[in-house]
Chains A and B, each alone.
Chain A
Amino acid sequence: MKPIISLQNVAVRYKRSGNIFRPKSYYEALKSITLDIYPGETLGILGRNGSGKSTLLRIISGLIQPDQGKVINRGVSVSLLALQAGFDPNLNGRDNAILSAMLQGHSRQKVQTRLDEIQEYSELGDFFFEPVRTYSAGMRTRLGFSITTIISPDVLLVDEVLSVGDKHFKEKAERTMVAKIQSQQTVVLVSHSHHQIARLCDRAVLIDDGISFAVGKPKDILSLYEEQLKLDEV
């Protein structure tokens, strides 16, 4: 089977902008990442805080290009599923839902036909028509996740979303995600939950200090990751 997305020795360097009092400096978010994503698989990404996971997702999703190395996307659509951010607080839930789905590449007409679905899933009731600035954090999360239920890109990048909301909604969201993962959907999952990675992923990759440290079966990678965490504590 051919990978649908390949990363070869990818490196990303962010510039810390300078001003007249401070010179420019660079910060290497990713040093060398080599990674293949195969169709239909669920790939787990593990790594400590600051190891470059978010930057890696941005690279995979094609939002930014690497400074070194190559990213090969063999014609697949990629969406980053991250909640809460990207909402306009002044717009109501409905408008935000429409815009979010449109930004993901759906036509307005198509979104409109599935608005009821989104509203029902979000369990926001009449709050769906109130400005998002009046929402609680939980409500925002619910809205954010509801939109994703109608989005099905070729590759879905999931950043820690399975651990949000109240218990009831969390279970519901998890169920929806599991259903997506079990279908032919290709998923890249970033999670700190060992349980989730072990249960949901076909393969896992460990990112350490901007380097793709190891790729393999979730069980092996998880034990490697745990060893790393132990070393940290010492």
Chain B
Amino acid sequence: MENNSNNSQLNKTELPSPEQAFEWPRQAMCEQNWSEATQRWAVLRKAYPNHPATWFQGAIAHIEAGDLQQAEVLLNHASQHFPKHPNSLIHFATLNMRKQEWSTADDLLQQAREEHPDNVQTWMRSAKCAEGLKNIEQAGEYYQKACQVAPDNQGPYIQYAELAMRNEQWEQASERWEILRDHFPKNSAGYHRAAEAEYKLNQPKEARKLILAQQYGSDIFEENKHEQKHAEKNKISSPHTNVKQLLELVWSKANFNLQAEVHRNYLSYAWWILEPLLHMVIYYIVFGLLLNRGGENYPVFLLTGLIPWMWFTKAISSSNSILAGQHIMLQVAVPSIYFPLVMLLQTTIKQLPVFILLIGFVWLQGYPPEAHWWGLVPVLIVQAILTIALACVVAAITPFIRDLCYLVPTGLTFTMFLSGIFYDYKSIGAEWQDLFLINPMAFLLKCYREIFIDGIMPDLTTLAGWAIGSTISCLLIIFAYQRLRYVYPRIVME
């Protein structure tokens, strides 16, 4: 043959390997530029006439280009030269299928299935033919067979699923896409085509899930399962309904605040002691030395009044705590009472070491502890409840009447002068003394001095009265906070 002699000459001038050379027409086929592909294969047929691909692929290109006659010429030639080649049966079948001669194609493929059961194309074409013959089930079986023959090839899996899509068998399609995803998780068709099937099944949620899985990787579903397990354990309880949760929160926040405060200042914890001491020095200079009102053991007298007073005044003065917490209140459902309680606990913790120092100081000054010191317990408890009640009331009212912010310090200064911190209540007129002691702080300071200095038990009856009164106030204010639960978030915003 003429072609053969040409070829032998060409072979001598170092042709590229067939694989390399065939890339050229295959590229055209990939681009579905069939006429270009036919021309390229024609060129390569001259160069590699003994290579079956040049004939078979050329024939395919012709079929796709619609030139069935030329395709038949090539296939006839190929089947003569490569009679054992599976493609000759398969492509003849393809040609016949294109001619709509289904039964001829079916006969050819029947033969191919017998002779070349290991060739994936045998099964792929058989499936196409079966579909052409409207035998969908049979087609599906052939595709399955193709998947078995070439498990590493994505094509059969995709075609298997697409078959179901074409025939609107959405459920089957969904299952088949899942098989594709299992084998080839990177193939995007397994996700977006499957999503289309899910839409048709009216499962938009599943469909969205698939599209997201394509973007983020399918392990995102695993994360959910993990999180869901956690979620069951993470049963949450709102601090609104759970008192323990609220108290734990208050305790944590107060502690964190104190730690942060300590870290910010150079002398840190020392300030807790230094601050009241400085106050005492000032009052001592003014009242003890300059005004000469002190008398015997004035420092002890001053400290026993000043230190309990400072606990009280510091707790009350943070009256705008709810307004300060507005950022939190507009984000989470936190009980408003949380804010004043944190300030209360914080100041109380700070006062503890000062109180211990006070006791040590009094002892060193020649007033050793005796049985009547037990009186301190009720006095401290009453002061605590009273402070809580008052601080919560002031904090509760301030958001409604913001001008109260300015009145609170003034009021506290006024109360300070009326509580007998630097003078003894006995030094005022006898007719005023009862009235003076109605002020609970004046009464409590009197109790402290009776215990520390006079060495007697305080007036327990009046103490009990104040205890009951402030406890009732506490309960009322807690009730008020609950009633105002939805009011505060709006008040702080407005």
Interface residues of A (CB under 8 A from B): 14-17, 58, 61-65, 77, 79-80, 82, 85-86, 88, 90-92, 95, 98-99, 102-108, 110, 131, 150-153, 175, 178-180, 182-185, 199-200, 202
Known A99-B253, A106-B236; contact A64-B223, beta-carbon cutoff 8 A = no
For window 206-264 of chain B, which residues contact chain A by CB distance below 8 Å? 208-209, 211-212, 216, 220-221, 223-225, 227-228, 230-231, 234, 236-239, 245, 248-249, 252-253, 256-257, 259-261, 264
Whether a CB of chain A sits under 8 angstroms from the CB of B489 is yes
Partner of B331, one of A86, A91, A131, A199: A86
CB proximity to A under 8 Å, residues B251-295: 252-253, 256-257, 259-261, 264
Q: Is B252 within 8 A of A63, CB to CB?
A: no
Asked whether any CB of chain A lies closer than 8 Å to the CB of B368, the reply is no
Contact of B257 among A16, A62, A90, A150 (CB under 8 A): A90
Q: Find the A residue at minimum CB distance from B224.
A: A183
Distance of A100 Cα from B39 Cα, bound (Å): 71
- Smallest beta-carbon distance B265→chain A, Å: 12
21 A–B contact pairs at CB < 8 A?
Answer: A14-B493, A15-B490, A61-B333, A63-B329, A63-B489, A80-B332, A85-B327, A85-B330, A95-B256, A95-B260, A102-B248, A103-B249, A105-B237, A108-B252, A110-B234, A151-B234, A175-B216, A178-B212, A182-B212, A183-B227, A185-B231
Nearest CB in chain B to that of A217: its residue: B204
Q: A63-B489, A80-B332, A104-B332 are in contact. List 4 more A-B contacts (CB 8 A).
A: A92-B260, A108-B252, A152-B230, A180-B227
Report the 10 A-B pairs with minimum CB-CB distance, sorted nearest first.
A105-B236, A183-B224, A95-B256, A152-B231, A65-B486, A179-B223, A103-B332, A90-B260, A85-B327, A86-B328
Contact of B220 among A80, A86, A182 (CB under 8 A): A182
CA distance A107 to B239 in the complex (A): 10
Report whether A91 and B227 are in contact in the complex, using a CB–CB cutoff of 8 Å.
no
Q: A63: which B residues are within 8 A, CB to CB?
A: 329-333, 486, 489
The smallest beta-carbon distance between B365 and chain A, in angstroms, is: 38
Residue numbers in B under 8 Å from A175 (CB-CB): 216, 220
Q: Are A108 and B212 closer than 8 Å at their CB atoms?
A: no
Count residues of chain B with CB under 8 A from any CB of chain A. Answer: 45
Complex contacts, A15 vs chain B, CB 8 Å: 490, 494
In the complex, the answer to whether A108 meets B248 with C-beta atoms within 8 Å is: yes
Question: B457 an interface residue at 8 Å Cβ cutoff?
Answer: no
Report yes or no: A178 in contact with B332, Cβ–Cβ below 8 A. Answer: no
With a CB–CB cut-off of 8 A, which chain B residues contact A153?
Answer: 236
Kindly state whether residue B334 has any CB partner on chain A within 8 Å: yes
Q: Assess the B238–A91 pair: CB atoms within 8 A.
A: no
Contact residues in A for B327 (Cβ distance below 8 Å) = 85-86
**Chain B residues whose C-beta falls within 8 Å of the C-beta of A77 in the assembled complex:** 236, 238
Say yes or no: A152-B227 contact (C-beta < 8 A), given A65-B486, A105-B239, A105-B245. yes
- Cβ of B426 within 8 Å of any chain A Cβ, yes or no, is no
Q: How far is the CA of A61 from the CA of B237 in the complex (A)?
A: 15
- In the complex, the chain A residue whose C-beta lies closest to that of B403 is A19
Task: Report the nearest B residue to A159, measured CB to CB.
Answer: B331
Contact partners of B224 in chain A: CB under 8 A: 179-180, 182-183
Q: Complex formed: what's the CA distance from A160 to B228 in Å?
A: 24
B12 interface hit (Cβ, 8 Å): no
Flag if A99 contacts B236 (CB, 8 Å). no
Residue in A closest to B260 when the chains form the complex, CB atoms = A90
Chain A neighbourhood of B166, CB < 8 A = none
Residues of A within 8 A of B204 (CB): 202
Q: Which of B212, B252, B329, B494 contacts A102 (CB 8 A)?
A: B252
Is B205 positioned at the interface, with any CB of A under 8 Å from its CB? yes
